[in-house]
Amino acid sequence: MNARIRAVFEDAGVRGWLHAVALDEPESTVEVDADGIVPLASVYKLPLLAGFCRLVDLGEIDPREQLTLDPSTKTGGPTGLSTFADPVTASLRDLALSMMTLSDNASADALLDVVGLRRLAELLESFGLHRTRVRRGTAGNLLDLQRRTRTNDPDAALAVLADNDRTDPAGVYEAANASASSARDLTLLLRRLWAGELLSPEQTEFVKVTMHRQVFLHRLASGFPHDGVRVAGKTGTFGALRHEVGVVTLPGGTAYAIAVFTLAARGDIRQPRVDAAIGEAARVAVDLLR
């Protein structure tokens, strides 16, 4: 049955990894190389959100604490506070909201500084995510890319990845050099979050509401273009990487955790066929599970 999903990936010109599981029947799964370790791009923001919310539950973080992001030091990016020209002050929970709904790099790196890499690693291990590593935030990724491409700014470095006439820098898509995880690990995280196993009811609801507010509808959600289907997700994009993980809930209430990772043969900034393939692969997986 996985041949149908592999055909979707092949038709889009990508290597793909997928894991899908019914939330109320965890032994029922659809898998394509689900244990492969893949660089996460912005999908790392989901485990960061889970770690942040656990620290709120533990009383180690006050979600109402105010933090000011200065344009001279914050991480750049195409969305959210990353694009702001002036200093902006927001609560930590609002930074988390912007991080997830808009994939805001500045908010994510600020939250990662608050949580801390070592503390986050401890939390993810306690969640049972033994294949998940958050090694650095977006600013660190861009600095590493600049070093590998021998460029002086992030835009120039990203342009190298988008140039199909140039060879990708060595190691840029290696999981050992980036925040990385497996499709199976991410659906486990989603399943445990939706079941309320990891967080208090208040923080569990915050995660669900926040992920349902994600503004990007061109990947997972494109496979379920019906008003009665709800999709809570988190995308990730970096060079030829296109991902999304999330929970798809059908009108009757049956829900599925799905993780789809892809690595395209081309590095173009816009790849609508790949985006659509993520949604199609997810739809096929849900059809098979049903």
Q: Which of 1, 31, 40 is nearest to 257 (CA)?
A: 31
DSSP SS3 for 257: strand
Question: Is the pLDDT at 41 greater than 90, yes or no?
Answer: yes
What's the first-to-final CA gap in the chain, in angstroms?
13
Question: pLDDT tens-digit profile of 130-140?
Answer: 999 999 999 98
Residue 286 — pLDDT band, cuts 50, 70, 90?
very high
pLDDT of residue 120: 98
pTM of the predicted model, to two decimals? 0.95
Q: Which of 178, 192, 51, 189 is nearest to 111 (CA)?
A: 51
For range 2-26, the mean pLDDT? 95
Residue 1 — pLDDT band, cuts 50, 70, 90?
low
- 123-148 burial, b at 16+ Cβ within 10 Å, e below that, comes to bbeebebebbbbbbbbbbbbebbbeb
For range 107-129, the mean pLDDT? 97
Compute CA 203 distance to the chain's CA centroid, rounded to the nearest angstrom: 19
For range 255-267, the mean pLDDT? 94
Q: Helices 183-194 and 201-212, interaxial angle, to 10°?
A: 120
Q: Give the CATH fold of the 2-289 domain.
A: Beta-lactamase (3.40.710)
For the chain, give every domain's residue range. Answer: 2-289
